[in-house]
Amino acid sequence: MSYEVLARKWRPKSFDTLVGQDNTVQALSNALDNDRLHHAYLFTGTRGVGKTTLARILAKSLNCEVNISSKPCLDCSTCKDIDKGRFIDLIEVDAASNTQVDNMRDLLDNAQYAPTSGRFKVYIIDEVHMLSKSAFNAMLKTLEEPPPHVKFILATTDPKKIPVTVISRCLQFNLKQMTADNISRYIKDILKKEEINSEDEALNIIAKAAHGSMRDALSILDQAIAYSGSSISTKEIISMLGTIDNIFLVSILNALVKNNGEEMMKLSAEMNEKSISFDLALEELARLIHKISIKQIIPNSTNDSSLSEEINKLATLFTPESLQLKYQIVINGRKDLHLAPDPLTGFNMTLLRMLAFYPSIKPSNNSDSKKKVELKSDVKIKVEVKDNILDNINIKDFDGDWIKLVSCLKIGIAKSLAQESSLISYKDNIFNLALNENFSHLNQNDYVEKLEDELTEYFKEKIKVNIKLGNRLKTPSLQKKIKNDELMKTTESAIMNDKFVKELINDFDAEVITSSIKPTKKKEN
């Protein structure tokens, strides 16, 4: 026997087996049982939430040979024929393939004739928003003066595209998206009937992957059965869907607590090797952070997750403010993922941001204590400064660039002396220096001799140094300070203009603590 897809095999045949649309079912049941029938219904909602299923149950309720009720017998030939899709007075049209006005006219010309065997002629028009304008006009005429034996059931995923004149003549029901909870309970039930074993976590993953659509959930389940056979395990579902083992994410958050960036990068590399979708990983990470936050706020709350122990532990390791910020970073990271050079890079940058930013409360005199975001001092914005690398040169080739020369000296007291001095003149291997008078304590014979030795070693020729005191000198150390200030300005403005930092400032009322910004550069010797 050929395999019948689950969505068809287990399509709910009555209102009480339909999941997740309690309000609509309640309203329709009341109308049917109290004989308050409308001639046109409009079901709206995203795909796979049960619009056409509901329409068919309604058609059965209207035409069941026993009577009109919210509980069609499911046993009479009308009920059976409707379930099998062969009832002559039920006309199902997919507007996506019948947009021509002629088809619509033919269809509606027929409406005036009495039903062949049923109580009502029921027209189910799916994706009704796809009808052309003239098709809508043709339909409107019938809707304005409907023959008493005609019922319209319109269904659409996009009600905004339906003319108001049509909508106003329909009784509208907004079908809700299925919750993951509803879906996993429903598919668990189906698997039980199919005698297939399953792990709860596996069904939770399928339910989430279906994004509110029962039809999608069931086709994933079809796939899973084909893939796994008589037993559906979490491991297989993860591998089938390329979804993510939440253990990875828990490990990432644990590494984050320990400020262990290396471990975080290792984990993301492992995830990459397993071809895990990083978009999904960020989605799941946001979900996980949300669960941890809930645990913090409502300590007694339970969650269905198999990770509840880890979640409880993480709830004690993060501050609520920090979780808020991490959540925002993850959401932003996901939003920008398509802009990243590749998903792994985008994912890693998001992890590094989580590592780099944490909120703190600024002690403030007024009651309005602003949340602010610090850049941790161990995370530096990299601004590279080229090293001044000089090879040993002949004294005759020395161009007088004292700053460059000093940068080549070994660190020590001789270098300090040189850094606080500027070169006045040099001739015949004699260097005349002016020492910043604020550093006159460096003007000692043995320091000067050490500098002479260093320069002698550098030029491979005997060098003599004369020192006098001076002020307002362009010493190497002053030049370096000016350069560093410039670098600092560039770094600060790079940070302040960063799109993400701007978002933090706007969304979190965050402040950047400029004193915590440190440009990274190669150490100058």
Binding site for Zn ion (CB under 5 A): 64, 72-73, 76, 79
State the nearest-atom distance from the C-beta of 32 to Zn ion, in Å. Answer: 13
Q: Of 61 and 268, which has the nearer Cβ to Zn ion?
A: 61
CA pair distance 151, 200, nearest whole angstrom: 42
CA pair distance 430, 32, nearest whole angstrom: 110
CA pair distance 283, 294, nearest whole angstrom: 17
**What are the structure tokens assigned to 506, written together?**
């706007």
Q: Are 59 and 72 in contact (CB under 8 A)?
A: no
Q: Of 14 and 484, which has the nearer Cβ to Zn ion?
A: 14
Q: Of 118 and 346, which has the nearer Cβ to Zn ion?
A: 118
| Strand partners of residue 41 | 153, 171
State the nearest-atom distance from the C-beta of 35 to Zn ion, in Å. Answer: 17
State the nearest-atom distance from the C-beta of 58 to Zn ion, in Å. Answer: 13
Q: Of 14 and 239, which has the nearer Cβ to Zn ion?
A: 14
State the nearest-atom distance from the C-beta of 16 to Zn ion, in Å. Answer: 15
CA pair distance 134, 288, nearest whole angstrom: 50
Q: Of 79 and 355, which has the nearer Cβ to Zn ion?
A: 79
Q: Of 76 and 352, which has the nearer Cβ to Zn ion?
A: 76
State the nearest-atom distance from the C-beta of 126 to Zn ion, in Å. Answer: 23
Q: Of 18 and 418, which has the nearer Cβ to Zn ion?
A: 18
Q: Of 61 and 204, which has the nearer Cβ to Zn ion?
A: 61
CA pair distance 55, 61, nearest whole angstrom: 10
| Strand partners of residue 198 | 232
State the nearest-atom distance from the C-beta of 146 to Zn ion, in Å. Answer: 24
CA pair distance 346, 319, nearest whole angstrom: 25
State the nearest-atom distance from the C-beta of 78 to Zn ion, in Å. Answer: 5
State the nearest-atom distance from the C-beta of 64 to Zn ion, in Å. Answer: 3
CA pair distance 285, 272, nearest whole angstrom: 16
Helix 343-356 and helix 320-335, axial crossing angle in degrees, nearest 10? 160
**What are the structure tokens assigned to 272, written together?**
């990459």
Q: Of 75 and 387, which has the nearer Cβ to Zn ion?
A: 75
CA pair distance 57, 37, nearest whole angstrom: 15
Q: Of 15 and 357, which has the nearer Cβ to Zn ion?
A: 15
State the nearest-atom distance from the C-beta of 82 to Zn ion, in Å. Answer: 8
Q: Of 77 and 516, which has the nearer Cβ to Zn ion?
A: 77
Q: For residue 385, what are the CA distances in angstroms to 139, 145, 452, 523?
A: 73, 81, 29, 9
**What are the structure tokens assigned to 164, written together?**
């108001």
> Of 374, 462, 423, 50, whose CA–CA distance to 215 is shortest?
50
- DSSP strand pairing (381-382 vs 464-470): unpaired
State the nearest-atom distance from the C-beta of 80 to Zn ion, in Å. Answer: 8
CA pair distance 288, 335, nearest whole angstrom: 17
State the nearest-atom distance from the C-beta of 76 to Zn ion, in Å. Answer: 3
CA pair distance 385, 484, nearest whole angstrom: 10
Q: Could you tell me where the beta strands, DSSP code E, fall in 292-366? A: 357-361
The SS3 call for residue 65 is: coil
Q: How many CB atoms lie within 10 A of CB 2?
A: 3
Sequence-distant (6+) residues with CB within 8 A of 308 are 302
Q: Which amino acid, one-letter code, is at 58?
A: L
